[in-house]
Structure formats: C-alpha cells, structure tokens
Amino acid sequence: MSDQQTHWVMDYETLVNCFVAVFQHYKDDGVKHIFVIHDQRNDFTKFINFLKSCVKNKQYHISYNGLAFDAQITQYLLDNHVKFEKLSTADLVSEIHKYAQKVIGKSEKNEFQDYAPHKLQIKQIDLFKLNHWDNRAKMSSLKWIQYSMDWENVEEMPHPHYEPITTEDQLKLVVKYCINDVLSTKMILEHSKEQITLRQTLTREYGIYLYNASEPRISKELFLHFLSQKIGWAKADIKSLRSPRDYIILAECILPYIKFQTPEFQSVLEYFRKKVITSTKDGFKHSVMYRGVRTDYGLGGIHGATTAGVYEAKSGWTIMTSDVTSFYPNLAIKNGFHPAHLPKKEFGELYEWFFEERKKIPKTDPKNYVYKLILNSTYGLTGDENSFLYDPRMTMQITINGQLSLSMLYEMICEQIPEAIPLMQNTDGLETMIPTAAVSKYLDICTIWENITKLSLEHDQYKKMIIRDVNNYIAVNTKDKVKCKGAFEWEDLDKKKVAVFHKNKSFLIIPKAIYAYFVNGIKPEDFLAQNQTIQDYCAGVKAKGGWYYEERNIDQGNLTLKRLQKIVRYFVSNDGSKIVKCNKDGREIQVEAGSWLQTVVNKLDPNVPFSAYNINEKYYLEEIYKQIEQIEKENKRAFTQLSLF
C-alpha cells in the first residue's frame, strides 16, 4: 500500500431489491463515489468500470469485515459482470442479494468463503481482522466500535434488508446510512495508522502479506519464517506439527530449584506435585492463605491481593514493586522449554535471539514491537491447537514454574523481612510494603532469587496504592507516574486508542472521577461540575441471542413501548424512559434497576449544549461514592496494621 496511490474506504448494502456501494477516498474527504442498483437507478456499468480501475491501478479497498463479505461480492461481480450486464435491473439485484445471503450463511456456519484473500483481484485491508475483533474475547461489530470511539451516529440500518425499497426517500436513507458506516470506518483507519504502518513494513521486509494479520498471527507467521530458515524445514511441514497430550504429570514439569520454607507454600508445591492434568482447558485451581492474603493459582497466572483500601507509604515506609523482565519468555529460554516436536537447541537459540536482538533495537523502531509480540505470544501459541507451537506440556512448564518461582520470591521477602506487608502478587510481579531501612535487604533478597532462577527483576517504588482487588487498582510511584488497572483504566479509552475499542467504556465519568479523587484530591461533585462531555456520561449495551431492548415510557398514565436496536447508547437523566432488556421467553431485566430513568442517544447532535441533556447527577455521584466507600471502608484496618510497626 503506497501513500502515493489512491485507496478507498468502502461499504456495501445488499437489500432484497437494492444494492448500494459507497467508496470514500482514504485521505481526501471530498472524493467519494456512490453506486446504486435499483429500479430508480442502475449504476452497474459505472460500478464495474470503477472496480476494474481499482484492479488496474493496484488500489486497496479498506473495510470493516470486508474479507468475509464486501470483497466476496466484489470478486463475484468482477467474475460474472459480462453475463450480469445482460440481466434486467430486478434480476441483477436479485442475483447480488442471493449471493450476499450465501456469503452471510457461510460466515454464520464458519465455512470458508468462495474467495480466499489470494484470489481477490483487489487487495484488502480489513480493519475487523487487523484489530483482531473477530476473536471471541474481542468480538465487536462496527456499531460497537462506533460507540467506543464516540461516533455521533450509531444508529442501525433504518430500513430492514428483507423489505424492498419502494420510495426515493427510503433509498436516500439507505445511502445516507452506508455513507455513515464508511465515514466511521475511515475514522477507525485513522486510529489504526500505526498498526497498518507496522504491517506494511513487515510485508515489505519478509514478503509475507500481513496487512490483515492480527498480532497473534503476525507472531505465528514471523516465528515460522525464522524457524524455517534456522532448521531448514519447509514451512508447510512445520505448520502440520503438534504435540497433543492425553495427560500431563505436573511433577515432571516443576524445576528442581523450586523450594519453600513455610508450611503454607510447601502445601502448594505438594498440590502441584500430585496433580495430573488431562485437559488444559480446565487447567487447575488452588489457593493459599499467607500473611493474611489469599493467593490464587490458575492457568491465567498467580493472583493475590490484600484487603481493599488505600495504602500509603508514610514516613519510614516504602512500597516496593518488582516485575520479572519478560517473565514467561525467559522461563522458557533459561530452562530449555520447547515444543517436543521441534529441536530443543535450535528453538531455544531462536527464541533467545529474539530477546537479545530486541534489546539492541530502539523502542521507536517497529521491529522492537514485533520482537516483543513474538516473545510474548509464543506462550499462548503453545496452548493453541491451531498453532505449530502447540504443546500443552510446555504451557504447563511455563505457567506453573512462573507461579511457583514468584511465590518463592514472595516467601523469601516476607520471611526475611518480618515487618513486610504483602499487598499484591499478580502474574509477573509483586508489591510489598516494607520499612525504608529494609530496602537494601529487599534488593539483596531479590538478587539471591535472580541467581537461583537466572531471571531478572525490574524495581520501582510506589508512594500510594488504591486497591479494590488484584485486578482493579491505582498505583502512584514516587515520581507521580500513575498506573491504573481494570475498572480504573480510563486514559486509553479517553484517548480513543484502537487497542481498547472492543472494551466497554460505559460511564467513563466514574473511573475519571475516582482517579481525580484519589490521585488529585478533587471531590466528585467538583469534578462532575468541570466535566461537560456528554459521551463520558453515556453507557453502551448490546443484545445477543434471544434478547432485545425495549424503551418504556409513561405519558399521562399511558404506557408506550418502543423496540430498540441491538446496541443502545444512553445516559441516566432526570426525565426520560425505562430501558428494559427482554427475552423471547418472557424474562425482563431493567438496564438501570430502580427508579432511575434513561435517555437514548444513538444519534448525538454536536450543537446541543451539555445543559440540555438534563443529566441526573445524583445517579453518577452515588455510583462514584459507592466505589470510593468500598475502598475506604477498609482504611481504618489498613492504617491500624501499619501503625503496629
């Protein structure tokens, strides 16, 4: 894809008796093509000529889920345009609609489409695939992404696809809707520029077409590329390899240096030594109480946190935070973990090469990020049945030794610094409050651990931690740099970073206000008075399966019902309606329980002043203070504990 060329952001609408195609220049907002095939207007010849010019000039089509839909229709029409030009308008539209339904049916059944990417005459950039929004954990429709990036119009198609277009006004509505989708896709493209530049660089350098590759697929393709070169095996042969396991004896996975002093952690080690895994999907679950903190072990890593509260490093105290550098990759590298079907020496050398090479490359260089991707994704790919790295025994070797070795460090610190107060243990690091006088001893303990494990630690100091639980906290370091996790994350959502568009940004005003309260000492009332961005007060909900949303309004004693679209954007207001989630089986759930009212704003007018929205400030303040109190109610216990030392 060259910046010197013309490329097109595009979308199709295929109705029962109407086809609409909109193409917007990827840079110039003033250049747009609209093609319609309907009784009122037949642009088929112009449309085909346009597609041919795209092929001739090597222009890309940029879409949302285009590989599985729009591009299929494009290639179908290019292949059959000669015979289609002889059809009547009605028959032509019928053929397009029939094929579109076939394409949709194949997608719903997870079947391969007729045209694989390499068979498409027009190259594609599919923002849906590129951003991995086709992944089950991140699955997102265009409407949801529109909501996530605060697009003004998130309304769904105003005319059902199965109903014929009979009037000019109906046709105008469909065209307008298609233009809105194209413009929002263009905005996603703007947010995805870094991701596209990265894929462009990799495609050129390695000769592998990666424009539509998700990050895990980039890792897989490049690891395969380098591995094939290193061991001299054909890519096709490597891709067919796997090491499935009927069972895994965990005692055989545990490294010999794993040892504990206390009964609590000795019992954890004994649990793992006796455990036999027959399904990595079920994995394992185990917990231990130590120093008043419950630590949980599972396939997702180690997780433990002290009671909710605000923990400050007052005079004479320090909160140490220590993370293992590239924890899982280095566990594999230092201990020779490898998929059984790949040669140990060559695999280990290549994996270590990525690690060492990355250290030489500036963070501004895309290669640095690529090598980080490869290093971090390899662990996940060992547990993926569709990956040539699949060996669940290696998955277990990494995750179990990772959890046990971090537990060793946890125990060493707490046993050798008796005054230590454990705050958190989470996957690849831990936070501990210790007397400032013990910092040197703490670092010595860490060095001993590093020598035992051959791993490296990175240290920092926090002056304050606001903890709700292990997955939701705010940490402020001694240089006032703030780290937010879980429910308290808001900055990436606020900055509209494409990597978080799949997440739910509902009521962003709440984490913003909590942050302002705990970090900057601003009262929630004052913060709300300053924030007049309507999108921050909005929530988004989406209906799946047999569920749908209904708006209920009582006016002068009369109840009116209105069925809403699948994705609804709303805010809590002083006047308005009740939004109810309904199921075909009769079940009903209020979106906001109690007497709170909501106003639907699937379309926002930028010219409407904030005061006109009639926000119910009481609702937002109650929610903010509820979360603040959940944390602060434990402060008395937390500070009593600290005062003992």
pTM here is: 0.92
CB 474 within 8 A of CB 465: yes
Q: From residue 127, how far is each of 29, 214, 566 by CA, in Å?
A: 19, 10, 22
The one-letter amino acid code at 247 reads: Y
Our CA angle for 43, 47, 52, nearest 5°, is 155
CB 290 within 8 A of CB 262: yes
Query: What local confidence, expressed as pLDDT, does residue 633 receive?
Result: 82
Nearest to 468 by CA among 418, 510, 415, 522: 510
Query: What local confidence, expressed as pLDDT, does residue 3 receive?
Result: 58
DSSP 165: P
Domains of the chain and CATH, by start:
8-213 (3.30.420), 266-272+284-323+392-488 (3.90.1600.10), 509-631 (no CATH)
CB 189 within 8 A of CB 149: no
Assign 405 to helix, strand or coil. Answer: helix
DSSP of 99-140, one letter per residue? Answer: HHHHHHHHHHTTPPPSS-GGG-SS-EEEHHHHTTTTSTTT--
Query: What local confidence, expressed as pLDDT, does residue 4 receive?
Result: 64
Question: Measured between alpha carbons, how far is 561 from 579 in angstroms, rounded to an integer?
Answer: 10
Residues of the chain with pLDDT under 50: 638-645
In which region does residue 207 sit, left (phi positive, over 0), alpha (psi from -120 to 50) or beta (all else)? Answer: left
Instruction: Indicate the burial class of 101 (C-beta count within 10 angstroms; 0-12, 13-18, 19 or more).
Output: middle
